[in-house]
Amino acid sequence: MKDVIFVVAIIALTGFGLVLWRIPFLEKLDRWAQYAIAFAGGCVIAAVMMFVFSLVHIAWTRGTLLIPLVLFAVLRRGRGFASPEKSGSSAAALQTVFWLTVIGVLTARETCGDLLYFWGPKGQAFYTAEGIDTKFLSFQHYSLMHPDYPPLLPLVYAWGAAMAHRFSWWGALFLTPIALLATLLAFRGITRNTRYTALLAALLGFGFAKGMVAGAGEPLLLLFETIALALLTFHGDDDGALLLAAIALAGAAWVKVEGAAFVAVVVFAYAVTRRRIVRPLLVAAPAAVLFLAWLLFAKHYHLIDQYGRAGQTAHFELLGGVLRDTAKTASYGTFYLPWLSVLAPLPFLRNFRRAALPLLTAGGLFAAVLFFYLHQPDPGFWIASSAERVLLSPLMALLVATAAASE
């Protein structure tokens, strides 16, 4: 029963995001996409609130957490919504992938080791301490848990645990199909393209299973990244869409270290393709504020670990090996099927101008992955353990590019 409460509580984070329905742009999306974006925004709002509560020493209890949830939900404003694009085969693909992911997760076929080793313990420690447990994070023998890693996922887990009065390992795994479904519904609503929603479903469903991401940061990271990139690509001139993209980018920067790199790459690509400076900077502002706030917090409590390695020297002499190993892992054991799937439709497409932003983003993300590996003294280990997961972001960006060129 507590597992169910844990999951329902995480889904209920959507209540925080309902305040985003006040943004007029959302009227252009169907109701399911509105809920999906509310869920993503709700995760960000709840995480920021819990972080602030921790700073001002307000303990996380059901009372202190639920009262703001109710207030945010009341602040919502019911707006109209567009009718959803209908396609039987696309809906079938989406549902098939969702239920396969549910089966995969609940039969322990997609579990990421990082859930056991640090995401779960952090979420549990935060819940027990009723705040961000800096004593736990700074314990020297737990340093391999990356004490300065962005806090959004453990905060979401702590939220679920605070409501269920117990941390749920199965509940943490179940966040994966929830985030996957939200990603697909948001993408379908933003792009109004059912064919590429089906392809994205298959791509991420397979990628999550092969990369073993359940319980780790990738499902939420891909949710934020997909929303931000799709909004900037398809509605890059709408102020409301930019505001939502900015919130999604803030979420990405607070889920994983790679999320900050994504923000930098996509904002650069947006500035280059739109030939503007101020708007991209405004879009990046919430992410920058959250990123700096967490960095200052980590520095104050002597938690700096990953971010302290920014000055590491690159091992360019390993470039050949890094390229070879990354290319080998990038095949996903399927003769590069994920890459072929997102690139195969390109020769039949027209609108390459619109695809420039996600194409540039995909290239930048791939370069960022290589850049990270070149800074490791033993890149082989890192490539073997993470490439299938981190390459999902450039794959998603390529799919957004193909969908954009399809219009």
Partner 1 sequence: MRQQIESVIVYLCTALLIAAFVTRLVTRGGPYFARPQTIVDHVGPGKHETRDALVLLPKVEKLIPRGAEVTCFRPIEGTANADDTANFYTAVGQLPRQQVQPPFTAMLTVPTGSLVEYVVAVGGPFDHPAYRVIAEFPEGRLYKVER
Interaction site with partner 1 (CB under 8 A)? 89, 93, 96-97, 100, 103-104, 106-111, 113, 115-118, 120-121, 124-125, 128, 141-142, 144-145, 167, 169-170, 173, 195-196, 198-199, 201-203, 205-206, 209-210, 212, 215, 332, 334, 337-338, 340-342, 344-345, 348-349, 406
State the nearest-atom distance from the C-beta of 341 to partner 1, in Å.
Answer: 4
Q: Which residue do the tokens 């990082």 mark?
A: 114
* Cβ proximity of 138 and 104 under 8 Å: no
Token pair 């302290």 is found at: 308
Nearer to partner 1, 136 or 268 (CB): 136
Amino acid at 16: F
Least distance to partner 1, CB of residue 351, Å: 12
Q: Which is nearer to partner 1, 12 or 200 (CB)?
A: 200
Largest Cα–Cα distance in the chain?
Answer: 58
Closest distance of CB 128 from partner 1, Å: 6
Spatial separation of the C-alpha atoms in residues 235 and 192, rounded to whole Å: 12
The residue among 234 and 270 lying less far from partner 1, judged by its C-beta, is 234
Best CA proximity match to 307, nearest among 316, 320, 318, 298:
298
Cβ atoms 375, 404 nearer than 8 A: no
| Residue 175: CB minimum distance to partner 1, A | 13
Pick 137 or 246: Cβ nearer partner 1: 137
How far the first Cα of the chain sits from its last, in Å, is 46
SS3 363: helix
Minimum distance from residue 193 beta carbon to partner 1 (Å): 10
- CA dist., res. 334 & res. 338, Å (int): 8
Smallest distance, Å, CB 106 to partner 1?
7
- Shortest Cβ distance from residue 111 to partner 1 (Å)? 5
Provide, rounded to whole angstroms, the least separation between the CB of residue 171 and partner 1. 11
Query: Within a 13 Å sphere around the CA of 389, how many CA atoms are in the beta-carbon half?
Result: 24
| Of 192 and 195, CB closest to partner 1 | 195
C-alpha torsion 37→307→278→48, nearest 10: 40
Q: Residue 295: which of 251, 246, 250, 254 has the closest Cα? A: 254
- 384 CB-near residues (< 8 Å, 6+ apart): 325, 329
Closer to partner 1 by CB, 97 or 383: give it: 97
Q: Pick the closer one to partner 1 by CB: 27 or 334.
A: 334
- Name residue 391's beta-bridge partners: none
Beta carbon nearer to partner 1, 129 or 319? 129
Candidates 200, 263, 133, 155; CA nearest to 400 is: 200
Question: What tokens appear for 31 in the block?
Answer: 């109701």
Q: Which three-class secondary structure state does DSSP give residue 107?
A: coil
| Nearest to 137, CA basis, from 255, 293, 299, 254 | 299
Residue number with CB closer to partner 1 (198 or 369): 198
Rounded to a whole number of angstroms, the minimum distance from the CB of residue 59 to partner 1 is 17
Q: Is 306 helix (H, G, I), strand (E, B) or coil?
A: coil
Nearer Cβ to partner 1 (113/380)? 113
Q: Closest separation between CB of residue 127 and partner 1, Å?
A: 8
Q: Which residue's entry shows tokens 């490439």?
A: 387
Is the CB of 112 or the CB of 360 nearer to partner 1? 112
Residue 345 beta carbon to partner 1: minimum distance, rounded to whole angstroms: 5
Spatial distance between the Cα atoms of 275 and 100, rounded to a whole number of angstroms = 43
CA quadruple 347, 352, 358, 363: dihedral positive or negative?
positive
